[in-house]
Amino acid sequence: MKNVLIYGDSNAWGYDSARYVPEANAFQRMTETERWPALVQTMLGSDYHIIEDALNGRTVVWDDPYMPGRNGLVGLKMALDANAPLDLVVIHLGCNELKEYFNLSAAMIARGMEMLVRECNVPYYGYPAPKVLLIAPAPTHPDIATIRDGISFGPTAYPKSCELGKRYRVIAERNHCGFIDCAEFNFEINTMDGLHYSRADHARLAPVVAEKIREMLNG
C-alpha cells in the first residue's frame, strides 16, 4: 500500500461557502463525495492510503496573530513524524499568506514554500524520505478585495495569487518535485468570499491529482 499525506489549508479541508450554520457562526465542510482529497482516495482505491491533514487558515511558515497554531512548517514536521512511513507528500498551501496584514510578496511566499518542500527530505525512523507533489493554489477571485470589503484580503491579493504558479514551478523543478498549477484549470472560485473552491472546482482537481500520484509512485 502507498501512503500519501495531503497537507493543506481550507481548500484541501473542503471549506464549503454554501453550508453556513448561523447558530455556530461557521461554515461547514464538504463531504467525502465532494472534497478533492477524499475523491482522490476513491479514485485511487485500496492500494493507496490517503491521509488528509488540512486546516483552515494554515499558513506556509508564518504565525498568524489572529489564528494561532496554523504555522505550516511546524505542523508539517509533526505530520511527517506521526504518519511515517510516507511514500508521497502533497502540499497545497499559500492562499492565507495573501492576507494584507502579512505584507508578503509572491516571492516571499514561495521562499517559505521551499522550506516545506525541503523539510520533506528529512527521513524519519530510517525510512526513505517521501517524494513531494507541490500544488500551486488557484488565483483568488479578481474582486476579492471588494467581496471581502477590505477584510484581510486587500487589492494586492489577486495579482500576487496569479504569480504563485510560476514561482512554485521553479521550486518544484529545483527540488525535483511533481507539480500541478491550479491556475490552468479555470476554477470558478465562489463569489461569497472570493477565495474558496466550489464543488465543481474540487471535482475538477481530484482526477488531476489522482493521475499525478499514480505517475509519481508507479512511473
Domains in the chain, number: 1
Look at 24-28, 48-52, 128-132 and tell me which has the smallest mean pLDDT: 24-28
The span from the CA of 200 to the CA of 177, in Å, is: 27
What's this model's pTM, rounded to 2 decimal places? 0.96
CB 121 within 8 A of CB 77: no
Helix (H, G, I), strand (E, B) or coil at 50: strand
Whichever domain contains 117, its CATH number is 3.40.50.1110
pLDDT one-digit tens code per residue, 57-86: 999 999 999 999 999 999 999 999 999 999
Closest CA to 134 of 171, 186, 189: 171
Structure confidence at residue 195 (pLDDT): 94
150 confidence band (pLDDT: 50, 70, 90): low
Highest mean pLDDT among 16-20, 27-31, 74-78: 74-78
Q: Which domain holds residue 63?
A: 2-218
Q: For Cα atoms 86, 28, 42, give the angle at the middle one, nearest 5 degrees.
A: 40
CB 180 within 8 A of CB 209: yes
Closest CA to 114 of 172, 179, 62, 70: 172
